[in-house]
């Protein structure tokens, strides 16, 4: 932004010198937390595994000999067969399980990511506004959350599906729109305690607008509980998606998700165990790792109450 | 000081602040707590007015009502001829530029997620959005030097500073908009004695250099005597005494002021022993009166 005073050009050199040359970078709270997190072995290993699963889920399908909807008429309900390239066996329709597990993981991860982003965005802003303004605004906004809580989310998703037709995007939005409720409550509670801090009063005394205070002073200080809760939301969303798909409201054939695969594999676990083991192993690993990451983040972000 | 000849920059008349405590039960009725009861005083350009009183006597409430962080229930506070209670949002923004505050807890009054430079620059961004980034950086650096911080600390975070340094950041933030009045709300109470002296002297130097007025709130009459030209003593929300610092401390009229002054320790055990007897006498007299 150019200065109106005209001094800006003259001062730029001096300012650059001040800002770059002889001003060492400070150690922010986030960097501190990351340093503590990197010392937590379980969390680091979990992050590694989750990253690996994400990479394999998105890049893997290009290296697998079979497509996820491709039918191999010569091998239906067959256990793992390395010669034909069915590394995890095939299902009742002769489709390659490895390809399907990869596609399912991909779908579950996308649902989890989008729904988490939706729920964090809505929840944080809603909660922070409600907590900051307090009083009547707060009661009104929180009563709305209570009402939403009382609605069964299955009903909500069914209404959405009936109104807009079957669409995976709708699934993300539907789940995200429900998950934000808890986030909003957590954020509101935190905001109530942060807004009593002196630096908020300092910002008000220097004339900052309410919205600026919320965005610049309150939201950054919420990052601890929000990040922790978000990592714990991801598993919840994966499970919710599995449940909806099981009911036939979620992802539709030939596309699949971890939940759909497991629900298809569970009834035949005794005769075709490979149909259950593959997707179940991925889901369990993913959930376990996310829980460890959540724990690690909690310890790292809030070293006081371990 | 020929203060009386000039027009005061801040005139406070019969200012009262009330808090409504929630009603207890269905038939409890609302309780009203009168924290500040009809306080009046004048403040002149370049002057320091000390406000002393014990915890909970309404010092902080009074200061917040003056800058309209809290609503006043009665009376008025007039800043440069305009009633603060009746200001519109533009005038209020000007007021926020002219009156800045320094807070009690040095660390808690700084946002832990912002660098020192960002914290000091924030009032500039609000009140002078037209100046460029480079000029802002230079002003921040100059201000840091003025309050005794190295400009190279600009990218550090509050938790990397000591208490005294944090309070200097708070002072820099208050000074950056060239205010006419700074309200110091227990600004040195949380600091160590040696650092307290440094910060008080810094405030006095800056005041001499920039000609700003100070409203110096403290429960410690010894510090106030050192920095203020005039002292106002508050007791349960009321002004019990106001006058020149010399006169209030050497020749107090009100019993409460006498007790406040008697409570300041003297670094001499013999004198202290004699004074203890004196203090007991004052306390007994106060008990009898009440």
Q: Which two tokens stand for residue A158?
A: 């069914």
Same domain, B249 and B279: no
Residues B74 and B204 both lie in one domain: yes
Give the C-alpha distances (Å, rounded to integers) separating B41 from A118, B8, B82.
54, 10, 16
B77 and B49 within one domain? yes
Shortest CA distance from B93: residue in chain A: A207
Lowest mean pLDDT among A14-28, B191-205, B261-275: A14-28
Q: What are the helix (H) ranges across B176-211?
A: 193-210
Interface contact B112, partner A, CB < 8 A = yes
- Do residue B130 and residue B265 come from a single domain? no
What residues contact residue B233 under an 8 Å CB cut-off, 6+ apart? B52, B53, B239, B240, B241, B242, B248, B254, B256, B257, B260
> Residues B223-235: what's their mean pLDDT?
89
Instruction: State the pLDDT at residue B257.
Output: 85
Containing B65, the helix (H) or strand (E) segment is helix B59-66
| Bridging pattern class, strands B181-185 and B213-218 | parallel
For residue B114, the chain A residues in CB contact (below 8 A) are 216, 220
Residues A15, B134: C-beta atoms closer than 8 Å? yes
Based on its alpha-carbon atoms, the radius of gyration of chain B, rounded to whole angstroms, reads 20
What average pLDDT values come out for chain A (306 residues) when binned by 10 residues? 54 62 70 84 92 90 81 77 77 83 88 87 92 90 90 79 75 78 91 89 88 89 84 82 76 80 83 85 89 85 58
Q: Which residues of B touch A4 (CB under 8 A)?
A: 130-131
Q: Are residues B41 and B161 in the same domain?
A: yes
Euclidean distance between CA atoms B95 and B89, whole angstroms:
10
Domains annotated on chain A, with CATH: 58-301 (1.10.3720.10)
Q: What's the domain count of chain B? A: 2
B103 has a chain A CB within 8 A of its CB: yes
Q: Is B189 on the interface with A (CB under 8 A)?
A: no
- Are B211 and B273 within one domain? no
Whether B108 contacts chain A with CB within 8 A: yes
Query: Does B150 reach chain A within 8 Å, measured CB to CB?
Result: no
B130/A contact by beta carbon, under 8 A: yes
The structure tokens listed for A91 are 């299902």
Residue of A nearest to B133 (CA): A1
Q: Tokens in use for A254?
A: 């030939």
At residue A20, the pLDDT reads 56
Q: Does B155 touch chain A (CB under 8 A)?
A: yes
Asked if residues A238 and B154 have their Cβ atoms less than 8 Å apart, the reply is no
pLDDT given at position A15: 63
Regarding whether B269 and B246 lie in a shared domain, the answer is: no
Same domain for B271 and B226: no
Please state, in angstroms and rounded to a whole number, the distance separating the CA atoms of residues A254 and A108: 15
Residue B262's domain comprises: 254-290
Tell me which chain B residues have a C-beta less than 8 angstroms from the C-beta of A190: none
pLDDT value at residue A22: 59
- The CATH number of residue B75's host domain is 3.40.50.300
Inspect the interface and report whether the beta carbons of B157 and A27 lie closer than 8 Å.
yes
Per-residue buried b or exposed e for B136-175, using 16+ beta carbons within 10 Å of the residue's own CB: bbbbbbebbebbebebebbbbbbeebebbbbbbbbbbbbb
Question: What letters, b where the CB count within 10 A reaches 16 and e where it falls short, cover B37-64?
Answer: bebebbbbebbbbbbbbeeebbbbbbbb
Say yes or no for a CB contact (<8 Å) between B111 and A18: no
Q: What is the mean pLDDT of residues B1-5?
A: 49
- What are the beta bridge partners of residue B31? B21
Asked if residue B126 and residue B179 are part of one domain, the reply reads yes
What's the whole-model pTM score? 0.79
What is the full DSSP assignment across A133-196?
A: H-HHHHHHHHHHHHHHHHS-HHHHHHHHHHHH-S-HHHHHHHHHHHHHHHHHHHHHHHHHHHTT
Residues in A touching B116 (Cβ below 8 Å): 26
Instruction: Tell which wins on pLDDT, B56 or B127.
Output: B127
CB A234 within 8 A of CB A296: no
> Residue A158 in contact with residue A218, Cβ under 8 Å?
no
Q: Any chain B CB within 8 A of the CB of A6?
A: no
The answer to whether A207 contacts B69, with C-beta atoms less than 8 Å apart, is: no
| B122 has a chain A CB within 8 A of its CB | yes
Q: What is the rounded distance in angstroms from the CA atom of residue A49 to the CA atom of residue A63? A: 20
pLDDT in tens, B199-227: 888 889 888 888 899 999 988 888 888 88
B264 and B150 within one domain: no
Average pLDDT of chain B is 85
User: Is A28 within 8 Å of B157 when comparing Cβ atoms?
Assistant: yes
Alpha-carbon span A132 to A189, nearest angstrom:
10
pLDDT reported for residue A191 = 92
Contacts of A7 in chain B (CB under 8 A): 132, 135
B102 and B138 part of one domain: yes
Judge: B127–A207 Cβ closer than 8 Å, yes or no: yes
For the segment B161-174, the average pLDDT, to the nearest whole number, is 90
The predicted structure's pLDDT at residue A48: 95
Report the C-alpha gap between A298 and B12 in whole angstroms: 50
Secondary structure (3-state) at B6 = coil
B10 shares a domain with B51:
yes
Q: How many inter-chain contacts (A to B, CB under 8 Å) are there?
A: 128
Does B149 score more than 70 pLDDT? yes
CB A214 within 8 A of CB A176: no
Q: Is A251 on the interface with B (CB under 8 A)?
A: no
């Amino acid at each position: 932004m150019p200065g109106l005073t005209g001094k800006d050009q003259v001062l730029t050199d001096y300012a650059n010198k001040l800002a770059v040359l002889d001003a060492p970078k400070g150690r922010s709270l986030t960097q501190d937390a990351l340093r503590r997190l990197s010392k937590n072995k379980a969390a680091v290993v979990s992050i590694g595994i989750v990253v690996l699963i994400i990479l394999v889920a998105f890049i893997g399908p290009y290296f697998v000999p079979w497509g996820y909807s491709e039918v191999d008429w010569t091998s239906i309900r067959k256990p793992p067969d390395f010669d034909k390239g069915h590394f995890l066996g095939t299902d009742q329709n002769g489709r390659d399980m490895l390809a399907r597990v990869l596609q399912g993981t991909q779908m579950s991860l996308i649902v989890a990511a989008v729904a988490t982003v939706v729920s964090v965005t809505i929840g944080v802003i809603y909660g922070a506004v409600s907590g900051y303004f307090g009083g009547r605004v707060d009661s009104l906004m929180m009563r709305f959350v209570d009402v939403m809580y009382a609605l069964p989310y299955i009903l909500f998703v069914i209404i959405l599906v009936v109104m807009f037709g079957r669409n995976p995007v709708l699934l993300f939005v539907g789940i995200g729109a429900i998950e934000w409720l808890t986030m909003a409550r957590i954020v509101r509670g935190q905001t109530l305690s942060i807004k009593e801090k002196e630096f908020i009063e300092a910002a008000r005394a220097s004339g900052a607008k309410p919205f600026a205070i919320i965005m610049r002073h309150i939201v950054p200080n919420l990052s601890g509980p929000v990040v922790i809760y978000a990592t714990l939301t991801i598993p919840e969303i994966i499970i919710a998606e599995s449940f909806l798909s099981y009911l036939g409201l979620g992802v539709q054939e030939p596309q699949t998700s971890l939940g759909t695969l497991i629900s298809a594999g569970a009834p035949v676990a005794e005769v075709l165990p490979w149909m259950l083991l593959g997707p179940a192993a991925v889901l369990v690993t993913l959930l376990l790792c996310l829980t460890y990451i959540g724990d690690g983040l909690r310890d790292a972000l809030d070293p006081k109450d371990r | 000081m020929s203060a009386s000849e000039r027009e005061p920059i801040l005139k406070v008349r019969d200012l009262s602040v009330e808090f409504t405590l929630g009603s207890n039960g269905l038939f409890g009725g609302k309780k009203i707590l009168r924290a500040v009861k009809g306080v009046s005083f004048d403040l002149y350009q370049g002057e320091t007015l000390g406000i002393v009183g014990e915890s909970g006597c309404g010092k902080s409430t009074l200061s917040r009502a003056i800058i309209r962080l809290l609503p006043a229930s009665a009376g008025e506070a007039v800043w440069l001829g305009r009633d603060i209670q009746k200001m519109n949002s533009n005038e209020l923004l000007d007021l926020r530029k002219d009156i800045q505050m320094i807070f009690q807890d040095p660390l808690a009054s700084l946002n832990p997620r912002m660098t020192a430079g960002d914290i000091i620059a924030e009032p500039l961004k609000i009140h002078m959005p037209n100046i460029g980034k480079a000029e802002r950086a230079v002003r921040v650096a100059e201000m840091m030097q003025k309050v005794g911080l190295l400009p190279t600390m600009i990218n550090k975070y509050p938790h990397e500073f000591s208490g005294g340094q944090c309070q200097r950041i708070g002072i820099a933030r208050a000074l950056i908009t060239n205010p006419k009045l700074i309200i110091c709300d227990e600004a040195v109470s949380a600091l160590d004695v040696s650092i307290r002296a440094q910060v008080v002297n810094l405030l006095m130097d800056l005041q001499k250099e920039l000609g700003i007025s100070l409203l110096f709130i403290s429960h410690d009459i010894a510090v106030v005597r050192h920095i203020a030209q005039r002292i106002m003593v508050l007791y349960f929300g009321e002004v019990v005494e106001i006058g020149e610092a010399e006169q209030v401390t050497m020749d107090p009229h009100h019993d409460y002021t006498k007790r406040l002054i008697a409570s300041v320790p003297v670094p001499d055990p013999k004198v202290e022993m004699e004074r203890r007897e004196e203090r007991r006498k004052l306390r007994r007299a106060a008990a009898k009166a009440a």
